[in-house]
Chains A and B, each alone.
Chain A
Amino acid sequence: MTSSKSLSSLSVAAWVLAFALLAVFPLLPEPIGGKFHTELLAKVMIMAIFAASLQLLVGYTGLVSLGHAAFFGFGAYAVAMLAPMSEAGNGWLMLAAAVGGAGLLALVIGALVMRTQGIYFIMVTLAFGQLVYFVFHDTKIAGGSDGAYVYFKPALAIGGWQWIDLEQANSFYWFVLGALALTLGVLTLVLRSRFGHALIGIKHNEQRMRAAGYSTLLYKLASFVVAGMLAGLGGFLYAAQYGFVTPEILSWHYSGNALVMIILGGLGSLGGAVAGAFAFVLLSEWFSALTKHWQLLFGSFIIVAVALLPQGLAGLWARLPSSQRKEAA
């Protein structure tokens, strides 16, 4: 226990340092800071929110969902559907619709998919994700297969005071940073609560939890809804950043990418989700700069990673100190 306690104070220090570095990043001089990198990093952080929300499901509750993009995409589409053509829309309303709508959708889908387990669960989440995809792709709700524009970034005013202007790249960046901090904070609180402990218990042995008197179905459903809401927050930020949504962000490739992120970073760790999102976005940027067929490199990378790194990057990290310790002994 003592070692894990000292580790957790160490990790608090690491988090504070990481967020401090992220916060000053846009102020750094040109070759490091600058508009391009600031926007890229905002994108990374949005993906980190998405990945962290999936981590709650996959890494902590043990529910492998391949349809998580439905909630992310729904959040983004909520912004697009509520955005007026000629002026900035009410950002608070959009945010509430994105997070609340995604949560509601997660409640409905979750109630159905929780009837299944294992391989079934993977396939059924995938299929429901595709259902949402087809609803937006085939009907005229929001531009169909062409997608829809968000012409003005959502306006976040408090009593008429524009406290943060999302049109400004740096302000947007800090807003995303705040959202990421909020997401990780919420997830940390959830995981430290009795509820979170129950989720982890379910991951390890659902039958035992049920025998101990937990209605595991409700716990899993609640986890699904929380994850869906946070993914909706990510979707809100995505739509605000790009000003454009397409059905692509609802597709199962997007869900697959989020899974790749958390596995890359390491399961069952919030830091892993963030690290995985960093690695994913930066790797895909790098690969796509190398060649048009970057997915070939990326796919091969995934295959090799699965074959050689079953524990993800975080596993590599965890293995380092112990191997050094062995050498010292």
Chain B
Amino acid sequence: MDLTTFLIQCLNSVQYGLLLFLVASGLTLIFGIMGVINLAHGSFYMIGAYLAFSLSALLGSLPLALLVGTVLAVAFGYVLEWVFFSYLYDREHLQQVLMTYGLILVFEELRSLLVGDDVHGVAMPDLLAGSIAIGNGMTYPVYRLFVSGVCLLLAIGMYLLISKTRLGMMVRAGATNREMVQSLGINITLLYRVVFAVGVALAVFAGMIAAPVSSVYPGMGGQVLIICFVVVVIGGIGSIKGALVAALLIGFVDTFGKVLWQEGAGALVYVLMAAILLWRPAGLFKAG
């Protein structure tokens, strides 16, 4: 592997890792703060990808689709928490698993009914469709750089939101001690609903922005869900920082695994997880 290929693969790893982070951060927030295991989180990614496909065809532009899709996602997450999740918090994990498993089946079939089972591609916006030369006659698509940049901005934004704002303070406090936050007079119901809506929106957004790179296909939700579980397990439940580190780690392992050892790449991330579990059963970073 020469230096240019190595560089390209590094860029791919970062892009994949940051994308994973967007999905996994919502998952880890919902775990960490509400204690809910949400199997349907991968479906939000799938819904995002199909939204990008349908909306960009409808509106004629991907950026516009991103904007409209994100607004829709927040509203969707808000209502979803209200109808399906708000009474799950006091239930056992098992019931949460079952309920969200049922939601996956419903989302997948609705997708099949509304959009069909075909694999679709989504065109990149013209402005970002080109590629830049990175030496040795190799080029790198601008859109992938754009994806990485946007994800990075969102990651920084999330960091600032959680560590510097009042909302973030409530979120951190809620993750540590729910009853205490409640007794301080903070509307925990609303807080949960907002956090859930943001988590959904992040996953949907990740699905939308990834659509031109990864194509849109049935079953993409389940795939991303399980990788995100690995991210959360490695990073530590509820830890945003852990999710970022773990997502990047997985991005590199998976991308380079596929280049160097095609057959075993699928299993490699799980081997990594097993190794980290042996070393640190609670993940790299504890929540807090």
Q: Which residues of A does B touch, CB under 8 Å? A: 58, 64, 66, 112-113, 115-116, 118-120, 122-124, 126-128, 130-131, 134-135, 137-140, 252-253, 256, 259-260, 263, 267, 293, 295-296, 298-303, 305-307, 310
Contact = CB atoms under 8 A, between A and B. Distances in A.
Contact of A122 (B37, B273, B278): B37
A299 B109 contact: yes
A306 B237 contact: no
B270 A131 contact: yes
Interface of B: 31, 35, 37, 39, 84, 87, 91, 93-95, 97-99, 101-106, 108-110, 112-113, 222, 226, 229-230, 232-233, 237, 263-267, 270-271, 273-274, 277-278, 281-282
B105 A299 contact: yes
A139 B87 CA distance: 43
A299 B113 CA distance: 14
28 contacts: A64-B94, A64-B97, A116-B233, A116-B277, A119-B237, A120-B233, A124-B277, A126-B226, A126-B229, A128-B274, A131-B270, A135-B267, A137-B266, A252-B222, A253-B222, A256-B39, A256-B101, A263-B94, A293-B109, A295-B106, A296-B113, A299-B103, A299-B104, A299-B106, A299-B109, A302-B105, A303-B102, A307-B99
Contacts, number: 125
Contacts of B87: 307
A123 B229 contact: yes
Given A112-B274, A122-B93, A293-B112, A302 B99 contact: yes
Given A119-B237, A138-B264, A303-B99, 7 more contacts: A123-B233, A140-B263, A252-B222, A253-B222, A295-B106, A300-B102, A307-B87
A131 B274 CA distance: 10
A293 B102 contact: no
A127 B37 contact: no
Contacts of A299: 101-106, 109
A305 B98 CA distance: 9
B94 A116 contact: no
Judged by DSSP, the binding face of B is helix
A119 B105 contact: no
Chain A interface SS verdict (over half): helix
Contact of B226 (A130, A295, A296, A300): A130
B94 A115 contact: no
B219 to A, nearest CB: 10
Of listed B97, B266, B271, residue having the most chain A CB within 10 A: B97
B106 A119 contact: no
A310 B91 contact: yes
A300 B274 CA distance: 35
A137 to B, nearest CB: 7
A107 B113 CA distance: 42
Nearest to A144: B263
B80 to A, nearest CB: 12
A128 B267 CA distance: 9
Contact of B101 (A116, A118, A259, A296): A259
A41 B101 CA distance: 26
A298 B93 CA distance: 21
Contacts of A130: 226, 270
